[in-house]
Structure 1
Amino acid sequence: MNLLISTFFAGLIVSFLGTLPPGVLNVTVTRITLRQGQWSALGFVLACGLVEFVYSYLAVLITQLVVQNGVIRYLTDGLTAAVLLGMGVYYLRKPVAIPTEHQHKTHPFKLGILLSLLNLAAFPFWTIYTALLIQKGWVSLMSPSEMIIYVTGIAIGTLLGLWVFVWLSSWVRQLLANYYHRIDQLTGLLLVGLSVVQCLVWLVNPL
């Protein structure tokens, strides 16, 4: 039972934290909230959660095919460190870009589906992190029910992360307008720091 709870919350927490850095989805849901209200934003958020559920489920299936290999398990730490470093460098080098006031005419739910499907980075993200969480013993995916619990946690984490931007929409819009580039820099520094920590973990835990 404890491992089931850990499996659920591991997916939820990683998903929630992964949703917080400024990006297309959270900027868009902020705009929808301000222009069309929370009910419209809810449709967008639910669509994003649905796609995240499907992407993470497919990522779990792929992960199960490779995680049993000892070399793959060892390389997961190194690959995770590389991905974190790459993402950190991307945010640090990202040019200043203030969110525009472009008006989306697409229905919020359909827009959420479309933008989430285009967010292909979610697929390798969950493949890597699922393998890492399994390796650390924080997640068990030995049965279909455990897989459903895990990806449900991921979907709920996405919903909660995006809802933060709905709840704080007015403040978030002003923050994004004034400090968008600074947030990118802080996100980049955080990711680079996590990459260094993960690299140290990789080096001190040989096969």
Structure 2
Amino acid sequence: MEQLQTVFLAILVAFLGFSPPGMLNMTALKISLEHPRLQALRFVLGASSVIFVQALIAVTFAKFLAKNPELIRYLTYAAIAAFLLLAYTFYRQARRKVQIKLKESGTQSYWAGFTMAWMNMLAIPFFLGYSTILEAKGVLETQAPHNWLFALGAMAGAFSLFMLYVSFARVIQQRVQFIARNINYILSLLFLVLALTTIYNAFGGN
């Protein structure tokens, strides 16, 4: 029963966490519009496999990071750089129409999803934060095999969410470019605000 609860919680966390339109789900949507459905499926599989590793790292090292606050400080610096980089990236994407070119056969789309998921440096802190909160509430175990089950659940949740975007791509086909541009501007501003807030908390909040 505890194993099923771990999987269910991870599915829920990943599904809700990746629900807002972002780099991965919007790219999966665009690929499904411009290429055969199989290409979008390969992209989603690539991204989901990375999310499995990210969730596993977050849950496995949750207690270690909690006992080593110095590492949290370095992660804060890395987060600032990540926020600024992501803000700039989304701003550039908003300023131009991004064309996704993939071969009609092969595994290029899988590796595109794999690479883009690793670019999402917020995934590990995201899973770390939620797993820590859930463990503190007594509803989640983080030792083996629960850490592996959590990672599997996170992968399943992300995969399901991305496939929903792929499945409903045609429904919003006429509006996808408008939505993508505005989302990128919003995400760019969001990450800029997060970066400035983190900088203030790290250097000027004391």
Bin for the TM-score computed over the shorter chain? 0.5 to 0.7
Secondary structure, in 3 states, of the residue corresponding to 1:105? coil
Please tell me the root mean square deviation across aligned C-alpha atoms, in Å.
4.0
Q: How many residues align?
A: 196
Q: Which residue in 2 is equivalent to 1:133?
A: 130
Q: Which residue in 2 is equivalent to 1:17?
A: 19
Q: How does 1:51-130 map to 2 (within 5 A)?
A: 51-63=50-62, 65-72=64-71, 75=73, 78=76, 82=80, 85-86=83-84, 87-92=86-91, 94=93, 96-100=95-99, 102-107=101-106, 110-119=107-116, 120-122=118-120, 124-130=121-127
C-alpha distance in 1 between matches for 2:176 and 2:15? 25
Secondary structure, in 3 states, of the residue corresponding to 1:142? coil
How far did 1:155 drift?
Answer: 0.9
Change (3 A) 1:29 1:17: closer
Q: Match for 2:151: what amino acid?
A: V
Tell me the alpha carbon deviations over residues 3-25 of structure 1, each in whole angstroms, 9 at most, x when there is no partner: 735455334422x237x3145x6
Q: Does structure 1 conserve the Cα–Cα contact (< 8 Å) formed by 2:33 and 2:173?
A: no
C-alpha distance in 1 between matches for 2:177 and 2:10? 37
Q: Does structure 1 conserve the Cα–Cα contact (< 8 Å) formed by 2:14 and 2:154?
A: yes
Provide the identity percentage: 11
C-alpha distance in 2 between matches for 1:79 and 1:141? 29
C-alpha distance in 1 between matches for 2:114 and 2:192? 27
Q: Which 4+ runs in 1 deviate beyond 6 A? A: 196-203
TM-score (norm: length of structure 2): 0.66
How far did 1:196 drift?
Answer: 7.0
C-alpha distance in 1 between matches for 2:92 and 2:98? 17
C-alpha distance in 1 between matches for 2:134 and 2:199? 19
Change (3 A) 1:192 1:154: farther
Q: Does structure 2 conserve the Cα–Cα contact (< 8 Å) formed by 1:49 and 1:156?
A: yes
Unmatched tracts of structure 2, length 5 or more: none
TM-score (norm: length of structure 1): 0.66
